[in-house]
Amino acid sequence: MAPDSTPARIDLDPRWTVGDVDPRLFGSFVEHYGRCVYTGIYEPEHPTADAEGFRGDTAELVRELGVPILRYPGGNFVSSYQWEDGIGPRDKRPVRLDGNWRALEDNQVGTDEFLSWTKRVGSEAMMAVNLGNRGTQAAMDLVEYCNHPSGSYWSDLRRANGYKDPHDVRVWCLGNEMDGLHQVGHKTAYEYGRLAAETAKAMRMIDPGLELVACGSLHPRVATAFSWESEVLEHSYEFIDYLAIHAYYEQRGEDRDSFLAAAIDMDRFIESIVATLDFAKARGRHKKQVNISFDEWNVWYNDAGEVAGQDFRKAPRQSENMYNVADAVVVGNLLISLLKHADRVKMGCLAQLVNAIAPIHTEPGGAAWRLPTFHPFALTSAHGRGTVLNTLVTSPRYETRWFGPDTPQLDAVAVRAEDGESVTVFAVNRSRESALPVEVDLRGFPGLTRVSQVVLADEDPEATNTAERPDRVVPRSVSGARVDGGTLSALLPPLSWNMLTVRAA
Q: Is 177 considered catalytic here? A: yes
- Tens of pLDDT, residue by residue over 238-275, are 999 999 999 999 999 999 999 999 999 999 999 999 99
Q: What's the confidence (pLDDT) of residue 223?
A: 87
Per mean pLDDT, which range of 46-60, 83-97, 114-128, 304-318 is the poorest? Answer: 304-318
The whole domain housing 309 covers: 22-383
- Tens of pLDDT, residue by residue over 342-364, are 999 999 999 999 999 999 999 99
Task: Show which of 354, 383, 412 is a domain's final residue.
Answer: 383
Task: Show which of 383, 417, 449 is a domain's final residue.
Answer: 383
- Say whether both 349 and 452 belong to one domain: no
User: 488: domain CATH number?
Assistant: 2.60.40.1180
Identify whether 1 is part of a domain.
no
- Say whether both 378 and 254 belong to one domain: yes
pLDDT mean over 69-82? 97
pLDDT band at 310 (very low <50, low <70, confident <90, very high): confident
Identify whether 320 is part of a domain.
yes
pLDDT mean over 117-135? 98
Identify whether 493 is part of a domain.
yes
Task: Show which of 368, 383, 398 is a domain's final residue.
Answer: 383
- Say whether both 360 and 408 belong to one domain: no
Q: Of how many residues is the chain composed?
A: 505
pLDDT band at 304 (very low <50, low <70, confident <90, very high): low
Mean pLDDT of the chain: 96
- Say whether both 412 and 365 belong to one domain: no
pLDDT band at 222 (very low <50, low <70, confident <90, very high): confident
- Say whether both 359 and 442 belong to one domain: no
**Which residues touch 37 (CB under 8 Å, ≥6 apart)?**
30, 31, 109, 315
Q: Is 83 helix (H, G, I), strand (E, B) or coil?
A: helix
HEC states along 352-380? CCECCCCCEEECCCCCEEECCCHHHHHHH
* Cβ contact 359:373 at 8 Å: yes
Q: What's the confidence (pLDDT) of residue 6?
A: 64
Helical (H) or strand (E) element with 204: helix 189-206
Number of domains present in the structure of the chain: 2
How would you classify the pairing of strands 392-394 and 211-215? unpaired
- Say whether both 308 and 365 belong to one domain: yes
Residue 21 and residue 384: Cα distance in Å, rounded?
A: 8
- Say whether both 330 and 409 belong to one domain: no
- Tens of pLDDT, residue by residue over 148-190, are 999 999 999 999 999 999 999 999 999 999 999 999 999 999 9
Residue 384 and residue 378: Cα distance in Å, rounded?
A: 10
Residue 473 has pLDDT above 60, yes or no: yes
Identify whether 457 is part of a domain.
yes
User: 64: domain CATH number?
Assistant: 3.20.20.80
Catalytic-role residue among 45, 177, 198, 250? 177
- Say whether both 286 and 395 belong to one domain: no
Residue 303 has pLDDT above 80, yes or no: no
- Tens of pLDDT, residue by residue over 90-111, are 999 999 999 999 999 999 999 9
Percent of the residues in the chain that have a pLDDT greater than 70, as a whole number: 98
Q: What's the confidence (pLDDT) of residue 505?
A: 82
Q: What's the confidence (pLDDT) of residue 219?
A: 86
- Say whether both 62 and 102 belong to one domain: yes
**Which residues touch 475 (CB under 8 Å, ≥6 apart)?**
375, 376, 379, 454, 455, 456, 499
Q: What's the confidence (pLDDT) of residue 308?
A: 65
- 8-state DSSP, 6: P
Catalytic-role residue among 64, 296, 320, 421? 296
Ranges of H-type helices in 66-188: 111-120, 136-147, 153-160
Residue 98 and residue 101: Cα distance in Å, rounded?
A: 6
The answer to whether the pTM exceeds 0.95 is yes
Residue 127 and residue 169: Cα distance in Å, rounded?
A: 7
Residue 3 has pLDDT above 70, yes or no: no
- Say whether both 62 and 202 belong to one domain: yes
Identify whether 46 is part of a domain.
yes
- Say whether both 315 and 405 belong to one domain: no
Helical (H) or strand (E) element with 492: strand 487-492
The distance in angstroms from the start CA to the end CA of the chain is: 39
- Say whether both 292 and 366 belong to one domain: yes
Q: How far is CA 257 from CA 404, 438, 491, in A?
A: 11, 20, 20
